Amino acid sequence: MRNYFIAGNWKMHKTRAESAALATALVAQLKDGKHKYLVAPSFTSLETVGKIVAGSNILLGAQNMAAEEIGAHTGEVSVLQLKDLGVQVVILGHSERRHVYKEDDALINKKVKLAIKHDLEVILCVGETLEERESGKAEKVCETQTEKGLDGVSAAEFEKVTIAYEPVWAIGTGKTATPEDADSIHAYVRKVVSRLYGAEAAKAVCIQYGGSVKADNAAQLMAKANIDGALVGGAALKPETFVPIAKFG
């Protein structure tokens, strides 16, 4: 049986008190869950949530990090600071970072390598816009983002990487790629990984789906051959919507 990885990205939501309440509920309700779990609160809530999930089956994730360890980078948060708070996983290359904040593949790659250097797991996000999909470029976009995001990452280092396929047009829109569409891109990304790192690495890599995942479509998505988990946005903000996804199957 595959080890599914269900991650909640809380984005720019929740005060520390609200984050604490959500984390406390998830620790209680997921303690008997059989999958791998992660929550990624805002930077301001990392310490609060970290203390609550410590020792549980829920990993502490960060939503982003700087490309430099230290220095004059106003408003940035370094990998050293994240490690100090007990962060275990960092989400990099999320579509909002790429498209709203204009992070390119080279910057994301620099972050990926720095995170791995400091022994953090990485969730590397890839995905196409609606325009790219409609012009037949979905596979090529995901291939390029995967290749460039992993440039210089060794086979041994790649073992710390999860890939999240998140079609930009399906994030926060209520639209979801059909399970068949999602599985097709996942299969293609797996072929890219096979070319880069070999068949065994491609078989072992966890590829999450992210894009309006809900309780009523989670099991259908996870049933597909190449979908190994979910990166959940809006539905991760309440126990009653996240727990059913986390406990699918």
Q: Which residues are catalytic?
A: 94, 166
Pair 66, 79: CB distance under 8 Å? yes
Q: What are phi and psi of 117, to 5 degrees?
A: -55, -35
3-state secondary structure of 189: helix
Pair 167, 207: CB distance under 8 Å? no
Separation in Å, CA 19 to CA 10, 57, 125: 9, 17, 24
In one-letter notation, the amino acid at residue 248 is: F
3-state secondary structure of 5: strand
